[in-house]
């Protein structure tokens, strides 16, 4: 499994990035400062570092130089600043890429895999993309779903419903929105087909996993990632 170290002095940002990456089956470690980051790099096998630029005491540029003195691990800078001079400085000091906040889950994961590919990481291993919440695991490449390691056979529409929910946890979707996204926009079967597919999907997932798919009364459905 790919391992990523998140270095950011803001806990909320560390938590957000950690959730994004864990949902893609990337193992994460976190550090609030350069000092903590150095300890993790020495102690653990880290495949890539996500490094915030704006940190007190030692900023990301200083931390990058210190990491480069001890490791060739790929580094992606994270920053709220889009200044070209900062990008050039970061790359000159040994950074491999630069992402400006805010960024999406898909952009972050794509950038990580791109940098790892350029660094010579195992391509076949990186191409295995997963979305995981609780006991539910989606293999996005093979388009397979498992619950507690047991394969769950889903129809195309059931898979697409579950995939949409798990890629957008917490978002509430109306039945009409689900019809537009999963079925053809001109589908004439009515919103009852959404309820039918949700019911069947819940049955196949089993009681514990199905609890993540919640009915939002008066609206539709959403995926609750839980704690």
The per-residue pLDDT for range 187-209, each reduced to its tens digit, is 555 678 889 999 999 999 999 99
Report yes or no: 25 and 131 within 8 Å, Cβ to Cβ: yes
Looking at every residue in the chain, the average pLDDT score rounds to 86
- Please give the Cα distance from 170 to 30 (Å, whole number): 24
Query: At 28, is the secondary structure helix, strand, or coil?
Result: strand
pLDDT band of 57, cuts 50, 70, 90? confident
Tell me which H or E stretch contains 145: strand 144-147
Average pLDDT over residues 40-60: 91
- Look up residue 89 and give its two tokens: 């400085």
- Domains of the chain plus CATH, in order, are 3-126 (3.40.50.2300), 150-223 (1.10.10.10)
The span from the CA of 50 to the CA of 109, in Å, is 11
155 pLDDT higher than 60: yes
* pLDDT band for position 179 (cuts 50, 70, 90): confident
- Alpha helices (runs of H) in the chain, residue ranges in sequence order: 11-22, 34-43, 60-68, 84-92, 105-118, 123-126, 156-167, 175-182, 192-205, 207-210
Report the range out of 32-36, 100-104, 176-180 with the highest average pLDDT.
32-36
pLDDT at 184: 62
pLDDT of residue 165: 93
Average of pLDDT values for 31-56? 92
Tell me which residue of 94, 11, 83, 22 sits closest to 60, measured CA to CA: 94
Whether 103 shows a pLDDT value over 70: the answer reads yes
Average pLDDT (127-155) is 83
Q: Quick one: CA dihedral 108, 109, 114, 116, positive or negative?
A: positive
Q: Grade residue 146 by pLDDT with cuts at 50, 70 and 90.
A: very high
Mean pLDDT over 3-22 rounds to 93
CA distance 164 to 183: 12
Across 61-65, 154-158, 170-174, least confident range: 154-158
Residue 185 has pLDDT above 70, yes or no: no
Q: Which residues does 95 contact at the CB level (< 8 Å), separation at least 6?
A: 51, 64, 75, 76, 77
Q: Are 31 and 6 in contact (CB under 8 A)?
A: yes
Q: What is the DSSP letter of 199?
A: H
Q: If 0-12 CB within 10 Å is exposed, 13-18 middle and 19+ buried, where does residue 7 land?
A: buried
């Amino acid at each position: 499994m790919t391992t990523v170290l998140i270095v950011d002095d803001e806990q909320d940002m560390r938590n957000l990035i950690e959730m994004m990456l864990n949902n893609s089956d990337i193992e994460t470690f976190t550090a609030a400062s350069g000092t903590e980051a150095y300890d993790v790099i020495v102690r653990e096998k880290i495949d890539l570092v996500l490094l915030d630029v704006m940190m007190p005491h030692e900023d990301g540029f200083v931390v990058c130089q210190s990491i480069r003195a001890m490791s060739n691990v790929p580094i992606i800078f994270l920053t709220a600043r889009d200044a070209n001079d900062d990008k050039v400085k970061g790359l000159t000091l040994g950074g491999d890429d630069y992402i400006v906040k805010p960024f999406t889950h898909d952009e972050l994961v794509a950038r990580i895999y791109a940098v790892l590919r350029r660094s010579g990481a195992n391509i076949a291993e990186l191409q295995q993309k997963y979305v995981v919440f609780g006991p539910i695991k989606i293999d996005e490449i093979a388009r397979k779903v498992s619950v507690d390691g047991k394969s769950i056979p889903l129809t195309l529409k059931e898979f697409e419903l579950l995939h949409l929910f798990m890629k957008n946890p917490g978002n509430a979707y109306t039945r009409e929105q689900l019809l537009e996204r999963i079925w053809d926009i001109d589908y004439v079967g009515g919103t009852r087909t959404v309820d039918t597919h949700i019911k069947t999907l819940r049955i196949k997932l089993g009681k514990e996993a199905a609890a993540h798919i919640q009915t939002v009364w008066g609206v539709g459905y959403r995926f609750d990632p839980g704690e």
